[in-house]
Amino acid sequence: MELSEKLGDRGRLARVVLTAVLVIVAIQSFRKQKRTRGVLAGVGAAALGYSVSSGSAEPDEVIESIGTGVMDEGDESGELRCAYCGEPIVPGERRTPNENGETVHEACLEATA
Average predicted confidence (pLDDT) for the chain: 76
Arithmetic mean of pLDDT, 50-59: 69
Arithmetic mean of pLDDT, 79-83: 81
Same-domain pairing of 48 and 80: no
pLDDT at position 14 over 70:
yes
Total domain count, the chain? 2
3-state secondary structure string across 59-112:
HHHHHHHHHHHHHHHECCCCCEECCCCCCECCCCCCEEECCCCCEEEHHHHHHH
Arithmetic mean of pLDDT, 15-23: 92
Same-domain pairing of 43 and 76: no
Domain termination site, one of 34, 56, 78: 56
Residue 19, in any domain of the structure: yes
What does the pLDDT read at residue 59?
53
Residue 61, in any domain of the structure: no
Same-domain pairing of 74 and 105: yes
DSSP helix/strand/coil, 42: helix
Residue 51, in any domain of the structure: yes
List the domain range (segments joined by +) for residue 93.
66-112
Residue 70, in any domain of the structure: yes
pTM of the model: 0.45
Res. 17 pLDDT band, cuts 50 70 90 = very high
Q: Which amino acid is at 100?
A: N
Nearest to residue 79, comparing CAs of 93, 92, 94, 89?
89
Same-domain pairing of 7 and 47: yes
